[in-house]
Chains A and B, each alone.
Chain A
């Protein structure tokens, strides 16, 4: 189902001819073109930095890669367990399976789940993969320690945490699984310089173990430190 065999190189993401236009049916069918004929290939061990002015469609591209936004045209292949899955055609169960074991996404904001403890939120992706709950919690604790979330907070749901604390919980959750493909949407946005450095190190370690990473980083220092390649996105909005 929607899988094409014959994987013979180290590419993890191969996007060809991607087009995305939002159509706002309740605002007089207004068309908002975001990108057209976009090609992007990301290999193992690469950290590709999406670059372009605000509103140029960087986050839209990330969300399309994750299957969160539909694309209008083009193909979007992800290497899932050594088979290509076209995210633009895949069934919901298939997309969920890709997200479970192949592709992680760290967004700018944590979507807190009511009443669930921080430690369990971070451990969840490992538990879903079948890891023993205790081991998963231990690993979650290590990561929370590394990103500097004090142990006194681990038993609380993160809904009331500060922006920076929530961001670090989100990062710990995003990095607990060694996903082969990682999408990072401004993971360092609300962090102080010390925590920023920790997260930059974590991103470099992921690249070194062979993860294919696509990221958005507004901070030039972060871009230069973690990025292996810059990918320019031009704004299509003026064309509308």
Chain B
């Protein structure tokens, strides 16, 4: 793990909706190759935080500094809209909880993957197609289905397609919002295994929002626990889960059903 400088540095981030707190007082650094898990129950502010980090919502206060490939560290919200969009297309991936929000349902599976390549300048049709096919294989989708519409896929297949669409451009940072939410346990296991392998092999940094502590244990190096919009505890994933310090984290950990 490279610890020279953080890829993302968050300082005193706050997002309010009128007089409602979305999240507040959030500060952390994300290092290259690191997977950060954000856990907490629904309404704790984890998705709000992710939406700010991934530049989909402007924060009310605070700074998000991203280490860009070319110009080094830059404040996300001091960039132009065009710069931010370019970043989203090239450097970042965003895997949404509902794959139908992250896919283009009107075009084929192959086009969903190939489109991202074209957005970063790929023009050679044969290369785009072979790259798209290779990625469908990596996420274990039969290549005979490359021409099919995602709407004909099962939920688990759609989620894997969304992951392929996001990783095909070799992003440096991937945001995932409940990537295994709403999937069968067996499909979930397959997806987790896949994500674990891809993250380790590609050495990318990721921020994963989940309410599932087992998913967090498997994927995340480090964990942040949120409640009422605040980070109440953070640390090494297994330490936070096995020796939680905050009353709420203790409650969360002791509330898991053991199969």
**Partner-B contacts on A (CB < 8 A):** 22-26, 63, 67-70, 92-93, 95-97, 113-116, 128
Contact = CB atoms under 8 A, between A and B. Distances in A.
Contacts of A128: 200
Interface of B: 1, 3, 31, 34, 189-190, 192-193, 196, 200, 218, 221-222, 235-239, 242-243, 245-247, 250-251, 254
A70 B242 CA distance: 10
A96 B1 contact: yes
A68 B236 CA distance: 8
Contacts of A25: 246-247, 250-251
21 contacts: A23-B245, A25-B250, A26-B247, A26-B250, A26-B254, A63-B243, A68-B238, A69-B242, A70-B235, A92-B235, A93-B34, A93-B221, A96-B221, A97-B1, A113-B193, A114-B189, A114-B190, A114-B193, A115-B190, A115-B193, A116-B193
A92 B31 CA distance: 11
A37 to B, nearest CB: 20
Nearest 9 A-B pairs (CB), nearest first?
A: A25-B247, A114-B189, A92-B236, A69-B243, A115-B193, A92-B222, A115-B189, A26-B251, A68-B238
Nearest to B246: A25
Contacts of B193: 113-116
B189 A68 contact: no
Contacts of A23: 245
Contacts of A115: 189-190, 193
A79 B246 CA distance: 31
B243 A70 contact: yes
Nearest to B188: A114
Nearest to B36: A92
A24 B200 CA distance: 35
Contacts of B238: 68
A21 B246 CA distance: 14
A63 B235 CA distance: 15
Contacts of A114: 189-190, 192-193
Given A26-B250, A26-B254, A114-B192, 8 more contacts: A22-B243, A25-B247, A25-B251, A63-B242, A92-B237, A93-B3, A93-B34, A96-B221
A23 B250 CA distance: 10
A93 B254 contact: no
B189 A93 contact: no
A35 to B, nearest CB: 14
Nearest to B193: A115
Given A26-B247, A93-B34, A93-B221, A68 B239 contact: yes
A93 B1 contact: yes
A226 B142 CA distance: 52
A114 B189 CA distance: 6
Contacts of B250: 24-26
A93 B247 CA distance: 25
Contacts of A97: 1
Contacts of A95: 236, 239
Contacts of B3: 93
A95 B222 CA distance: 11
A63 B238 CA distance: 10
B235 A68 contact: no
Contacts of A24: 250
Nearest to A128: B200
B239 A67 contact: yes
A67 B245 CA distance: 14
Nearest to A66: B238
A113 B1 contact: no
A68 B238 CA distance: 6
A70 B249 CA distance: 15
A71 to B, nearest CB: 10
Contacts of A67: 236, 239
B214 to A, nearest CB: 10
A27 to B, nearest CB: 9
Most chain A CB inside 10 Å of its own CB: which residue of B196, B243, B247: B243
A116 B194 CA distance: 10
Most chain A CB inside 10 Å of its own CB: which residue of B190, B218, B238, B245: B238
Nearest to A20: B243
A20 to B, nearest CB: 9
Contacts of A116: 193
A23 B254 CA distance: 14
